[in-house]
Amino acid sequence: MENKRLPGGLYALCDDGVRTGLSIAEKAAGLLAGGARVVQLRLKLTPEVEALAAARDLVARCRAAGAVCLVNDRVDWALLCGADGVHLGDEDLPPTAARALLGPGALIGVTARSLAYVEAAQAAGADYVGVGPVFPSTTKPAGRPALGLAGLAALVAASRLPVVAISGIGLANIARVAATGAYGAAVASDLLEAADLADRAGKLAREFEKGRRGEYRGAPP
């Protein structure tokens, strides 16, 4: 399943809770220099005024680079900074409300934990679902069992929406994630904690493509 407005492959998370010594602007510059085509801004630690300024800056950077910029949770920030859309969790506004505020052209993603969640998101007008946790994560512990690759593959096969795999994904397993048929793979810690963000973003994107094309032959070196 494809969504022409949402590029497939690496779905980069620009998170203020990972590698706090780097600013959001520095993280964004590295991700975009590495060719990231989708960047989600996730700000849980940044004060609101600074967060909105960071969101506006990231939207401008993404637009200049030809990348899609999504805001995690905060529909108001997405609206105020002109982001391409939002990604919504269990405790956020429902997709129908987000759509009413952001309009028909916005990209709206919803976190889904099961096929029932996927079907509910589709009925509510979501453009894609973020399915997980695929693997255990230290960035955002989910408090529920990981799906694993087999569980992910089953949901991908059943979903009528593009599936972005979430949680615990990095260079060592992103090709296997892509091989399940997932449309994209969200990466935070493995990307943001790399010594060279641009280099890691490029490697992650290439490994995803190998898995998608069936060229996966084991963990990358």
Q: For residue 221, is pLDDT > 60?
A: no
Helix (H) or strand (E) holding 113: none
Q: String of b and e for 132-160 (b: at least 16 CB within 10 Å)?
A: bbbbebebbebeeebbebebbbebbeebe
Please state which CATH class domain 9-212 belongs to. Answer: alpha beta
Q: How confident is the model at residue 4 (pLDDT cuts 50, 70, 90)?
A: low
At residue 117, the 3 state secondary structure works out as helix
Q: For residue 220, is pLDDT > 70?
A: no
Q: What is the pLDDT of residue 215?
A: 83
- pLDDT tens-digit series, residues 142-178: 568 999 999 999 999 999 999 999 999 999 999 999 9
Residue 171 and residue 202 in contact, taking contact as beta carbons nearer than 8 Å? no
Q: Give the residue among 180, 190, 189, 137 at the shortest CA–CA distance from 159.
A: 180
Residue spans of the domains in the chain: they are: 9-212
Q: For residue 219, is pLDDT > 70?
A: no
Could you tell me whether strands 107-112 and 9-15 are parallel, antiparallel, or unpaired per DSSP bridges?
unpaired
Q: What is the pLDDT of residue 40?
A: 98
- pLDDT tens-digit series, residues 87-134: 999 899 999 999 999 999 999 999 999 999 999 999 999 999 999 999
Q: What is the pLDDT of residue 172?
A: 96
Q: What is the pLDDT of residue 155?
A: 97
Q: For residue 217, is pLDDT > 70?
A: no
Mean pLDDT of 47-63: 97
Q: What is the pLDDT of residue 211?
A: 97
Distance CA 156, CA 1 (A): 9
Q: For residue 68, is pLDDT > 50?
A: yes
At residue 108, the 3 state secondary structure works out as strand
Distance CA 88, CA 127 (A): 11
Distance CA 64, CA 70 (A): 15
Mean pLDDT of 5-10: 96
Q: What is the pTM of this model?
A: 0.94
Q: What is the pLDDT of residue 99?
A: 97
Q: What is the DSSP letter of 95?
A: H
